[in-house]
Amino acid sequence: MTSAVETAPSPAQLRRRALRHLASPVSVLTVSHDGRLHGTTVSTVTTVSLTPLILGACLKAGSVLAELAVAEGRFAVNVLGGGQGGVARWFADSSRPDGARQFDGLPWSSAPYADAPLLDGALAHYACRVTECVRVGDHEVLLGQVVHAATGEGAPLLSFAGGLFAGALQPAPGA
């Protein structure tokens, strides 16, 4: 009879596990290039500059969305609401259809200034002009100057410890 030997996690595994504990809002980036629509789920969108207002989004190296956004020169960011976990999972699924079919059954409109899909129910939309796309390690950081923005109502969809979470935001004690 043999027994399995448990090994301690490597330092790299421990660092990766710790990264999963950075709570972040979930967004879907969208683009339309030469009539080809594309979207992808991301959990890293951040403000890079306030003047001018520039957002940064981290995508896996070789991302179709980054390639299309750079070619088009613009893209949209849809910050998802708490009830949009299914939308986040859909745009994260690599087996979803390509092109416009990935938007079938999803209510959306065209972004002013970006001509990219704005998903109904999102908490915020940003139409961005690509300023740069930089390779950093195993990711590409897509930078875009916000040329149009709109907000909705509700609580955000958050990514934390490998799961998606929705709920009311509550002020921290003492805040």
pLDDT single digits (tens) 74-107: 999 999 999 999 999 999 999 999 999 999 999 9
pLDDT at 3: 63
Least confident among 53-57, 87-91, 108-112, 128-132: 108-112
Burial class of 138 by CB neighbour count within 10 A (0 to 12, 13 to 18, 19+): exposed
Domains of the chain: 24-156 (2.30.110.10)
User: How far apart (Å, rounded) are the C-alpha atoms in residues 112 and 128?
Assistant: 10
User: pLDDT category, 175, cuts 50, 70, 90?
Assistant: low
